[in-house]
Amino acid sequence: MTLPGGGRTVTSVNEAPAVPRGERPLLVIEPDREKREYLRQVLQIEGFQTVGVETLDGGLDQDFSRYALLLVSMSGQTAPAIAELHERAPNTEIIAIAERGALDLALKAVREGAADFVVRPFDPAELVQRATRVLERRLREQELARLRGQMVDAGNFHGIIGRTSAMRKVFTLIDSIAPTDATVLVNGETGTGKELVARALHDLSPRRDKPFVSVNCAAIPETLLESELFGHEKGAFTGAIRRKTGRFEEAHTGTIFLDEIGELPLSMQSKLLRVLQERQVRRVGGTQAIDIDIRIVLATNRDLEKMVKDGRFREDLYYRVHVVPVTLPSLRERIDDLPLLVEHFVGKYRGKANSSAQGFSKNALARMSRYPWPGNVRELENFIERALILSRDRIIDDVDLPEAAAPNTLVSNNAAPLPVPTVVDTAIPLKDLIDQLTARLEAEYITHLLREYRGNIKKSYSHAGISRRGFFEKMRQYNIRKEDFK
Residues 286, 164, single domain; the answer is yes
The per-residue pLDDT of the chain, averaged, comes to: 81
Residues 280, 298, single domain; the answer is yes
Distance between CA 18 and CA 20 in Å, rounded?
Answer: 7
- Over residues 117-157, the pLDDT tens digits come to 888 888 888 888 888 888 888 877 666 666 555 555 557 88
Q: What is the pLDDT of residue 412?
A: 40
Of 144, 173, 190, the domain-final residue: 144
pLDDT beyond 60 at 392? yes
Residue 127 within a domain: yes
Distance between CA 114 and CA 355 in Å, rounded?
Answer: 57
Q: How confident is the model at residue 364 (pLDDT cuts 50, 70, 90)?
A: confident
Distance between CA 462 and CA 203 in Å, rounded?
Answer: 52
Q: What is the pLDDT of residue 1?
A: 39
Residues 52, 104, single domain; the answer is yes
Residue 284 within a domain: yes
Q: Could you give the percent of the chain with pLDDT greater than 90?
A: 31
Q: What is the CATH number of the domain that holds 464?
A: 1.10.8.60
Amino acid at 387: A
Q: Is residue 15 exposed (0-12), middle (13-18) or buried (19+ Cβ within 10 Å)?
A: exposed
Q: Which domain holds residue 163?
A: 157-327
Q: How confident is the model at residue 9 (pLDDT cuts 50, 70, 90)?
A: very low
Write phi, then psi, for 398 (nearest 5 degrees).
-65, -35
Distance between CA 106 and CA 113 in Å, rounded?
Answer: 11
Residues 320, 352, single domain; the answer is no
Tell me the range of 49-53, 56-60, 86-90, 199-203 where mean pLDDT is highest.
Answer: 199-203
Of 144, 167, 184, the domain-final residue: 144
Residues 320, 339, single domain; the answer is no
Q: Which residues pair with 215 in a beta bridge?
A: 258
Residues 246, 104, single domain; the answer is no
Q: How confident is the model at residue 260 (pLDDT cuts 50, 70, 90)?
A: very high
| Selected residue with higher pLDDT from 2 and 351 | 351
Amino acid at 271: K
* H runs (alpha helix) in 13-93: 33-45, 56-60, 82-88
- Over residues 268-316, the pLDDT tens digits come to 999 999 999 999 999 998 888 999 999 999 999 999 999 999 999 999 9
Of 327, 361, 390, the domain-final residue: 327
Amino acid at 383: F
Residues 90, 208, single domain; the answer is no
Residues 371, 454, single domain; the answer is yes
Q: What is the pLDDT of residue 417?
A: 44
Residue 426 within a domain: yes
Residues 175, 304, single domain; the answer is yes
Tell me the range of 119-128, 193-202, 399-408 where mean pLDDT is highest.
Answer: 193-202
* Total domain count, the chain: 3
